[in-house]
Structure 1
């Protein structure tokens, strides 16, 4: 399942770590993590949101693009890129990958 950490901090609980942005988490790990006292309060505040999906394919394009823009895992973005065929989503994935990799407008690294 996809779990979105909307906060600015890495969250650790019950052996699970969420980086800011989207995270791929097993349902078993999510159950342990979400039952932690502090994490429960973050879920209630909507700082951590669980999406009952595994990929952008399972979301409408607007939701998928929002998720892409909040994802910093190259592996996860590449996985979504392989599975999604919507142009708007693929464009958002490409743009996010460029941002993460620090590529400039000419495809060269920004310095």
Structure 2
């Protein structure tokens, strides 16, 4: 399952580590993670958000998640089966950004 850590900090509980952005987590592991009192509070506040699959999200939700994903393997996994051009374009842009191939000047 996808879990979006919207915070700026790595979160760790019950042998699960969530880096900022999108994370792939086994559902059973997330159940244990979410049982931790601090993590439960962060979930209730919306800092840690269990997500549907990318395919089940609307375009705006999917784009937000992709832009906050920094794992190349997870981005490649997101590309698999995705048919929406907008989402595919954002995935490609994010991959290029991570690899330092984007042409935007900062």
| TM-score (normalised: structure 2) | 0.92
Over residues 32-85 of structure 1, what are the superposed CA-to-partner deviations in whole Å (9 max), with x where a residue is unaligned?
A: 00000111111122111111x2x3112111111111011111101011112201
**Cα RMSD (Å) of the superposition?**
1.5
In 1: Cα distance, 2:79 partner to 2:44 partner: 31
Q: Structure 1 unaligned segments of length 5 or more: list them.
A: none
What's 2:19 paired with?
Answer: 19
What's 2:91 paired with?
Answer: 93
| TM-score (normalised: structure 1) | 0.88
Structure 1 stretches of at least 4 aligned residues deviating more than 3 Å after TM superposition: none
Q: How many equivalent residue pairs?
A: 105
Q: Secondary structure at the match of 1:66?
A: helix
Alignment of 1:4-83 (within 5 A): 4-51=4-51, 53=52, 55-83=53-81
